[in-house]
Amino acid sequence: MTVVSEALAREFWPGDDPLGKRIHLIGPDLPWMTVVGVVRDVRPEALSEPPRPTCYTLTAQFARMAGFADQGMNRGATHGWGSGDARQPGARG
pLDDT (tens digit, 9 = 90+) per residue, 47-89?
A: 888 898 988 887 666 666 666 555 444 444 444 444 444 444 4
In a domain, 93, yes or no: no
Q: Give me the number of domains the chain comprises.
A: 1
In a domain, 92, yes or no: no
In a domain, 90, yes or no: no
pTM above 0.75, yes or no: no
In a domain, 65, yes or no: yes
Structural domain harbouring 58:
2-40+52-80
In a domain, 85, yes or no: no
- Give per-residue pLDDT as tens, 19-50: 999 988 777 777 888 999 999 998 878 888 88
Output DSSP code: residue 89: T
In a domain, 88, yes or no: no
Quote the CA–CA distance of 65 and 77 in Å, as a whole number: 14
Quote the CA–CA distance of 89 and 12 in Å, as a whole number: 28
The one-letter amino acid code at 18 reads P
DSSP secondary structure string, 31-55?
PEEEEEEEE----SS-TTSPPPPEE
CA atoms within 13 A on the CB side of 64: 10
